[in-house]
Amino acid sequence: MKKMAAILALLGATCISLPVYAAEGGSIASKVEELGKMDYLKVTDMRAARRDNLLRIQVTVTNSSNKNEQLYYRFRWLDNDGFTVWEEEPWKPELIYGKQDKVISVVAPTFKATDFKLELQSPNNSTSSERRSGVDGPPYH
């Protein structure tokens, strides 16, 4: 029992790394909700880890256009069962320069968050495409 507690304490002290989402693996798609299809902006990298008891997310958004693109984003923080554990976040504006890889780093505002969804909107979204549906389940828990 003591051994078990020691192992748990050690795990708590070090950071517990969660899987890195591969750009092509489809895992990113399960975490991202685009409001319309974004023509020039794409999430090309996403990683998550638990540090200091808080879920830490790093997302890279790539602008394929030569021109500056406006992005609006916010996170939805969830628990293991998919319930939201924090109030609705404000939308955040982010200017992404032409051909830029913008790294967005965020930390969950609550210790309860174990999962998340990223909502993205860009004024240059095309709305003809249907909204993403039937996404994969959470890749880690």
Partner 1 sequence: MKAFRVLLLPAVLSLSACLTTNSPTSGGDSGVSYGDSKAVETVTTDLGSTDIQTTAEKMTISMLQTPLLQDIIRQRGLLMASPVANKTSEYFDTKLITDTILTQLQKNGVRYVIAGDEMQNQTDELIRQNQTGLYKKSSTAKVGNMQGAQYRIDGSVSSVIKSNSKVKDVYYKINMRLIEIESGIVEWSDEKEIRKVLKR
Q: Does 111 bind partner 1 (CB under 8 A)?
A: yes
Choosing from 88, 130, 134, 141, the residue that interacts with partner 1 (CB under 8 A) is 88
How do 54-63 and 41-51 pair as beta strands? antiparallel
Q: Does 108 bind partner 1 (CB under 8 A)?
A: yes
Candidates 21-29, 35-43, 102-110, 130-138 — which segment interacts with partner 1 by CB under 8 A?
A: 102-110
Q: Does 79 bind partner 1 (CB under 8 A)?
A: no
Backbone angles phi, psi at 31, to 5 degrees: -105, -15
d(CA 107, CA 110): 9
Q: Does 72 bind partner 1 (CB under 8 A)?
A: yes
d(CA 93, CA 103): 14
Site string for partner 1, 52-71 (x = CB under 8 A): xxx-----------------
Q: Does 120 bind partner 1 (CB under 8 A)?
A: no
Neighbour-count burial of 7, counting CB atoms closer than 10 A to its CB (0-12 exposed, 13-18 middle, 19+ buried): exposed
Q: Does 17 bind partner 1 (CB under 8 A)?
A: no
Q: Which residues bind partner 1 (CB under 8 A)?
A: 51-54, 72, 74, 86, 88-93, 106-111
